[in-house]
Amino acid sequence: MESETSTIDTLSFEDALRALETIVRQLESGDVPLEDSISLYEKGEKLRQHCQKRLDAAQARIERIVAGPDGAAAGTQPFDL
């Protein structure tokens, strides 16, 4: 299980999201046995957490361009929600 977590940690946001979407489709199909469904759900939760961590990191890096009186970019400041 730890190996799976370290593998998930190396995924890009896009790859993790695709894997999560695949798991959701499998679970929604209803064709997966109960034990497999539980395992898929657990993996899906780890993928969701990884995606959220990547989104949070990206948001922290976003900066808003500040315009000066003449309308030209005068600098940047941290992004606020």
Model confidence pLDDT, tens digit, residues 10-68: 999 999 999 999 999 999 999 999 999 999 999 999 999 999 999 988 877 776 666 67
In sequence order, which residues have a C-beta less than 8 Å from that of residue 38 and are 6 or more positions away?
none
pTM here is: 0.72
**Range 68-72 average pLDDT:** 75
Q: How much is the pLDDT for 31?
A: 95
Report whether 64 contacts 76 (CB < 8 A): yes
Rg (the chain; Cα; Å): 19
Report whether 18 contacts 8 (CB < 8 A): no
Q: What domains can you pick out in the chain, each with its CATH number? A: 2-78 (1.10.287)
First-to-final CA distance of the chain = 36
Q: How much is the pLDDT for 54?
A: 95
